[in-house]
Amino acid sequence: MPNIVLTRIDNRLIHGQVATQWTSSINANLLLVANDEVAQNKTRQRLMDMAAPTSAETRYFSLQKTIDIIHKAADRQKIFIICETPQDVLTLIEGGVPIDKVNIGNMHMSDGKRQAVGSVAVDDNDVETFRKIQEHDVLLEIQRVPSEKKESLDKLFNS
């Protein structure tokens, strides 16, 4: 079984907080961005590589490639999966990726979304997707950075 130390939803993917605070707090040595668009976009990959810590390798896989090869990961790999949306995470879970906890870190405000808590904005589809993720016995946590306390999920589901 792959050693997935954390799965995070952050529409910025790899950036300062992920690179400095999260990666070190969970002792990850592989940052896996699971995103169909980024898997094809070498420019975005290079930009994220510049933000990534030297202590961790980076991989940019499509959702399907992640599903197909995650079980081939070496035991020494401490994998930090970073997804852009809850829908991407649900796709991974339904595809057999053994995710037991999801950190909800940053979901930008955009048309049709409402502020749920802090840096997390959701629409009805996001809320329904989070419910489906929970149906797979996956723990959801809202926490921007490791040093801050976790937010109540009530704010997510009752926004």
| Structural domain boundaries in the chain | 4-158
Contacts of 138 (CB under 8 A, 6+ apart): 93, 99, 100, 101, 102
Check pLDDT > 80 for residue 159: no
Whether 17 shows a pLDDT value over 90: the answer reads no
Interval 5-16: pLDDT, tens: 999 999 999 998
- What is the distance between the alpha carbons of residues 102 and 66, in angstroms, rounded to a whole number? 16
Q: Could you say which of 3.40.50.1820, 3.90.660.10, 2.60.120.620, 3.40.35.10 is the CATH number of the domain covering 4-158?
A: 3.40.35.10
pLDDT of residue 135: 97
Catalytic site residue from 15, 71, 108, 136: 15
Strand ranges across the sheet with 101-106: 57-61, 30-34, 79-83, 4-10, 101-106, 139-142
Verdict on whether the full-model pTM lies above 0.85: yes
The residues, ordered by sequence, that sit 6+ positions from 85 with a Cβ below 8 Å of its Cβ are: 9, 11, 107, 126, 129
The model's pLDDT over 19-45, given as tens digits with 9 standing for 90+, comes to 789 999 999 999 999 999 999 999 999
Q: Is 108 a catalytic residue?
A: no
- The residue that leads in pLDDT, 86 or 159, is 86
Q: Is the pLDDT of residue 67 over 80?
A: yes
Is 35 in contact with 88 (CB distance < 8 Å)?
yes
Q: pLDDT band at 152, cuts 50/70/90?
A: confident
Decide: 2 and 46 in contact? Cβ < 8 Å: no
Separation of alpha carbons 17 and 51, rounded Å: 10
H-helix or E-strand containing 30? Answer: strand 30-34
